[in-house]
Every structure is written in C-alpha cells, then in structure tokens.
Amino acid sequence: MKLPELKIGNFTARIPLVQGGMSVRVSTSSLASAVADCGGIGTIGGSGIPIDELKEDIRKAKRMTQGIVAVNIMFAIREFMEAVMASIEAGVDMIVTGAGFSRDVFKIGKQHNVPIVSIVSSPEFGKLAEKSGADAIVVEAKEAGGHLGTDRSLRDLFPEVRKVVKKVPLIAAGGITDGFEIGEMMGKYGADGVQMATRFVLTKECDVSDAFKRTYLSARQEDVLLIDSPVGLPGRAIRNPFLHRLQSGDSVYDGECKRNCLKKCSHSFCIIDRLEMSQGGDVEEGLVFSGENVWRIKDIPSVRDLIDRLVAEAESVYAPVPV
C-alpha cells in the first residue's frame, strides 16, 4: 500500500521520511538537498560549526533543491538561539531540536512561521513538546546514533508516546535501516513518518571521508559502544583506539577549552575536535558516531536509489493501523 504524505506546518513531504541531522559536517547541503529532491525532508547538522558557515550551507541547499530543507540544532550548544535565528534568516524551512528543551524556540518559530520539530525520548517530554507548540515530534530511542536521551528501545518507547501525542505528527527514530522497518513503524505502531540518519551516511552524497564510510561498512555488532559524552548525555559510537583509551581511563584531553561551544561540558575531551577529525578521515583518533544497527548496512547507493528502495520495501508491507 502507498505510504501517506507527511505534513509538518505548512510543508508536505511526499515521502514520510526525515533524514536525521548529523554533526559535525556529516549531513550538509549535499546530502540534505538530495533527500529533499526525492520528496523527503533533508536535514543539515547545524551544531558545532560557525554561524556564517551554517547560513551559507542552508542557502546552498535551498539553491540546490525545491524540496524541504531542515536544520538540526542541539539545545546544548551555547549559541543555540543565535543558530536558530541565523537559520531562519538563511531561509531554512523547519528547525529540529533536541539534547535539551527550549520553550522559547516555539515562540520564535510561530513569529517567523517556521515549524519547530522536537526530539524527545519520553512520554512526558512528548506531551510537553506538544503543549508548548511543537509542529511535529520525533521519538528517538536508544538505537539511535549520537547523543541519547533514553535506554529504552524504539518499539517499547514509541507506543507510550503515541498514547499522549494526539495533535501533531509523531515520527519514529532510532536504529531503522530499511524500508520494511519503515512500513512496520508506520503500520503496526502508527508512526506518521520515520527519521533515519545512520543509513544516509552510507550514500554517495554524504560529505564524510571515505575512511569514515569504510568504518561504517566494516563495523561489527560488538564494535558499537556507549560512551559518556562531554555534553552530559550518553553517546553511541564505533570502537577505535581513541575510544579504547577513553574507556580505559587514559588522558585524552589537555583540559584547556578552546571552543567554549557547550552550555555545560565535562571537559573529558573536546567533542567537536574529535568529530571533526573523524569526518575528515582520522577514524583512529576521531569520534565516529553511529546508530546501534550500523553493522547491518553493507552498500553505498545514491540517495535516490536508496530512497526508491526504502519506499518499495515499505510499501510492500505497509498497512495503516485501523482507526
């Protein structure tokens, strides 16, 4: 059965698929515009980069596609509101935010007619986000990559949030790697759409180094680890020499903060430095964030080929939940 469209605010995505925002410089205009061109929602990772660079990348994406371009901005960054305002000025279509909760961002979104999408990891925050004015809500479970807000699985957590969020679209995220799972989450669990991030790293349009992509391709299930991030949340990444030293208690940081990028930071290591290193190709000493199920992914298609495959797989199993 054909998948339904996903409507968020005044925007309608022909395909109910949100490409998750990944920082630093993992999901840029190249990837986001390709996803948007295919009818999904393409998302630029807007955390950890200079404001001027973020604005230019949004403008570049908007020049490259007529589709929907979002930006993901972590509430945990010090320049959160500056990044939000800069994104709106640059013409972004919608803003996705997580890693903390801001009530003020909903007012800004309403003032500028820019939909705000909240990432939550509990029924309580789902209910709060809807009440506060979110235009859509992403339920992100433990299987996701990057920073995590829960240790509960998607299929355990999502139904609880679905019970309390009634008025706005509810999007499932965390560990989804193929279209059969899209069909399952939308049919059996009643999701209005899905968000996928890790799967899109292994596409031709993703602007990470070949070494980063090879790390994904060669990852085994036992190589995907949880770490304590300086942000104050658990993080999920792929095993490498840097993580071995970090988890062994060895010193991996000189203790001098050079970026002042986070509202609160444990200073256990500089997360921006390590993410930039891996994106650029140093996958031995960089931090390689990934979802829990990265080991299932074994090819690097174009975005269009991937989305065509995902839709065909999803529609082969999708059946809407009876009302």
Catalogue all structural domains in the chain, each as residue range(s) with its CATH number: 6-207+297-317 (3.20.20.70), 210-295 (no CATH)
Q: Which two tokens stand for residue 112?
A: 């500028």
> Contact, 32 vs 62, CB < 8 A?
no
The Cα 154–Cα 143 span in angstroms is: 7
Looking at residue 252, what is its pLDDT? Answer: 81
Residue 173's nearest CA partner among 134, 97, 120 is: 120
* 20 contact partners, CB below 8 Å, separation of at least 6: 27, 43, 72, 144, 173, 195, 196, 197, 198, 200
* 270 contact partners, CB below 8 Å, separation of at least 6: 230, 253, 257, 258, 259
Lowest mean pLDDT among 19-33, 240-254, 270-284: 240-254
> Contact, 265 vs 259, CB < 8 A?
no
Looking at residue 323, what is its pLDDT? Answer: 64
| Beta pairing, strands 234-238 & 146-147 | antiparallel
Residue 48's nearest CA partner among 260, 214, 247 is: 260
161: left (phi over 0), alpha (psi -120 to 50) or beta: alpha
* DSSP secondary structure, 204-228, as one string: TT--S-HHHHHHHHH--GGGEEEEE
Between CA 76 and CA 157, with CA 13 as vertex, the angle to 5 degrees is: 50
- Greater pLDDT, 113 or 233: 113
| Cα–Cα separations (whole angstroms), residue 132 to 63, 105, 145, 181 | 32, 10, 26, 30
Does residue 260 carry a pLDDT above 90? Answer: no
Does residue 255 carry a pLDDT above 80? Answer: no
Does residue 23 carry a pLDDT above 90? Answer: yes
Beta strands in 155-310 (DSSP E): 170-173, 193-196, 224-228, 234-238
Judged by DSSP in three states, 19 sits in: strand
| Virtual torsion, Cα 195, 29, 6, 96, nearest 10 deg | 60
> Contact, 120 vs 102, CB < 8 A?
no
The Cα 229–Cα 249 span in angstroms is: 14
Does residue 253 carry a pLDDT above 90? Answer: no
Looking at residue 34, what is its pLDDT? Answer: 98
Q: What is the pLDDT of residues 47-86, one digit of tens each?
A: 999 999 999 999 999 999 999 999 999 998 989 999 999 9
Q: What is the pLDDT of residues 98-123, one digit of tens each?
A: 988 899 999 999 999 999 999 999 99
Residue type, 45: G
Does residue 15 carry a pLDDT above 70? Answer: yes
Q: What is the pLDDT of residues 126-137, one digit of tens each?
A: 999 999 999 999
Question: Which H or E run contains 97?
Answer: strand 94-98
Q: What is the pLDDT of residues 166-221, one digit of tens each?
A: 999 999 999 999 999 999 999 999 999 999 999 999 999 999 999 999 999 999 99
Q: How confident is the model at residue 254 (pLDDT cuts 50, 70, 90)?
A: low
In the predicted model, what is the mean pLDDT of the chain? 96
Does residue 153 carry a pLDDT above 70? Answer: yes
Judged by DSSP in three states, 120 sits in: strand
